[in-house]
Amino acid sequence: MSLVEIGTEEHMRVHYHRSVLYILQLSAEDTGCFITRRLYPDGVCHEFLIDLVVYEEFSTDLLFPSISSVEGIVAQIFCPLSEYREGPFVWYKNFSLISNQESQEVLRIRDVSRESEDIYTCVCFWEHYGRKLNSSASLRLVIEEQSLITPPRIVLPTDNSIVLVDMDTEMSITCSVFTGSTGRGECSMRWQRNQTALDGVDGYIVQQRDDEEFIHSDLLIRKVSQMDLNSVFQCRADYSYEAMFVSVTLKRRDVGASWLTLVWCSVCVVLLILVVSRTMKMFAVDVVLFLRGSFKKRNRNEDGKVYDAYVIYQRNHLDDSTEKTISDFVTGALPTVLEKQYDYKLYIPARDDMPGEDCMDLIESKIQLSRRLIFIITPGCGAHEHGSSPEVYDAQQGLHQALVQGDIGVIVIQLEDMHNYTHLPLGLQHLLKKSPPLLWRDGRKPGSRFWKQVRYRMPVPSCQRDHVKKTSAGSNSQTEKSAPLMYTVI
């Protein structure tokens, strides 16, 4: 098969201009294969083949894709030739001229009915080098049931919306159309600026994407200019029987307002952090105690300790008032709350001592078997401590364990108001500088903040309540036997 080269002389019946092939006054002899060759600067050549079939009579094979509409609305039919020619246009229904029509690219059919279903042809008249020519395109209008058509609608952006932008920056706007499950294939979208399409315009990129029931068109502006601020952008959605528009304008963002917003956001974040940290600090003790109660171990003997705390307090050289205060707290409130209410196991000298035991060895042994030291201090505490009395030795031994060896925690409880701590041993003064004492007021309930702070500083209870009850019972009987000894020492 020989190939005939087509020229570019525009007065010829068959010629081409750039990428467009013109066949004027089409005839059956024009049926054939047309090849377009595109040459690239690097010498590469691409060929595109087009088979042209010219029918002597009308054939439905010549119809463009059908469009759908429903009864009772205004249908709009767009001429497929409007993308290439500006008109004027004349419309035919079933190849009969439609009367009282407007010479436009869009044919509007009011109050669509079943009788409106037919083949519609648009004829476009145009002129080429003095020749008056025409082109035609035909398509079928199909009337469907109302329930089968989901009318599309633009859901984003809203009409006449304003988008705040920064000058000389890149920004994008997304237009979304809901088409439902039936009208997706017949809906097309495009972006316009001041009634001019933006497809192929430098500085603007238009991309369309689909999902299940929506079509989205993204407009990307490479660099926002003053011209963009003075323009109106339109998202246009063309459906088979309707065209929809929404307008968007760009407004320059107020730099001052942006800074003010940033400052307010920063202040709010700082305040939120302060409130959260303050709240956590207020309820940290409660949270820890709650978790301890939820995940308490049954028999915590893996550390080799026997007692949760060893209590150190002054038992000699006290006035009657101080002696009563210490006695009420050490033998009353302290074991009642910690041992009976919260399952702790305490070693309290004079209450738990066995007659005849070596005091020095006993003190050292019991302190090593304890997880915490509880120091009870009063205004007169330490003022008369001298020699090698048991209460002096247990204080020295406890401070040695806490300060030198560092293997035991210390809880200091103050029973009365004190102006300073200079009368206390130097080691105890050092501990008080690191952590202030807990001040006891008579009448504090087991759930008070004081007892929560004490429990917070204590370890996890070493035994369950049933075990404590047995231990308490044994301790009570032992206390009854050793009580006279305790009061004799005091």
- Residue-wise pLDDT for 124-139, tens only, equals 998 888 888 888 999 9
Measuring CA to CA, how many Å separate 182 from each of 77, 211, 214, 236, 238?
18, 13, 11, 19, 15
Please report which confidence band the pLDDT of residue 173 belongs to, taking 50, 70 and 90 as the band edges: very high
Measuring CA to CA, how many Å separate 268 from each of 61, 154, 263, 274?
68, 36, 9, 10
Residue 297 or residue 444, greater confidence: 444
- Highest mean pLDDT among 36-50, 243-257, 394-408 belongs to 36-50
Q: What is the pLDDT of residues 65-90, one digit of tens each?
A: 888 888 888 888 888 887 777 778 99
Q: Quick count: other Cβ atoms within 10 Å of Cβ 95?
A: 12
Over residues 277-294, the mean pLDDT reads: 78
Right CATH number for 155-252 from 2.40.110.10, 2.40.50.100, 3.30.70.580, 2.60.40.10? Answer: 2.60.40.10
pLDDT for position 150: 63
pLDDT surpassing 90 at residue 118: yes
pLDDT for position 206: 92
> What span, in angstroms and rounded, lies between the C-alpha atoms of 93 and 138?
10
Please report which confidence band the pLDDT of residue 389 belongs to, taking 50, 70 and 90 as the band edges: low
Please report which confidence band the pLDDT of residue 308 belongs to, taking 50, 70 and 90 as the band edges: very high
Average pLDDT over the chain, rounded to whole? Answer: 81
> What span, in angstroms and rounded, lies between the C-alpha atoms of 289 and 167?
57
Task: Return the domain boundaries, the chain.
Answer: 60-148, 155-252, 255-295, 309-489
Which CATH fold would you assign to the domain 309-489? Answer: Rossmann fold (3.40.50)
> What span, in angstroms and rounded, lies between the C-alpha atoms of 390 and 362?
10
Please report which confidence band the pLDDT of residue 478 belongs to, taking 50, 70 and 90 as the band edges: very low
pLDDT surpassing 80 at residue 109: yes
> Of 37-51, 320-334, 466-480, which range is least confident?
466-480
Please report which confidence band the pLDDT of residue 121 belongs to, taking 50, 70 and 90 as the band edges: very high
pTM as predicted: 0.42
Contact 233, 206 (CB under 8 A): no
Residue 363 or residue 337, greater confidence: 337
pLDDT for position 213: 79
| Token code pair at residue 65 | 């894709």
Q: Quick count: other Cβ atoms within 10 Å of Cβ 333?
A: 17
Buried b (16+ CB within 10 A) or exposed e, 393-427: bbbbbbbebbeeeeebebbbbbbbebeebebbbeb
Place of tokens 């105890």: 428
Same fold across 60-148 and 155-252: yes
CA-nearest of 362, 421, 357, 353 to 393 is 362
> What span, in angstroms and rounded, lies between the C-alpha atoms of 442 and 123?
105
Percent of the chain with pLDDT over 70: 84
Over residues 214-232, the mean pLDDT reads: 92
Over residues 26-43, the mean pLDDT reads: 87
Please report which confidence band the pLDDT of residue 346 belongs to, taking 50, 70 and 90 as the band edges: very high
pLDDT surpassing 50 at residue 482: no
Please report which confidence band the pLDDT of residue 148 belongs to, taking 50, 70 and 90 as the band edges: low
Please report which confidence band the pLDDT of residue 474 belongs to, taking 50, 70 and 90 as the band edges: very low
pLDDT surpassing 60 at residue 290: yes
pLDDT for position 267: 92
pLDDT surpassing 70 at residue 187: yes
Which CATH fold would you assign to the domain 60-148? Answer: Immunoglobulin-like (2.60.40)
Q: What is the pLDDT of residues 240-279, one digit of tens each?
A: 656 788 999 999 887 665 677 788 899 999 999 999 888 8
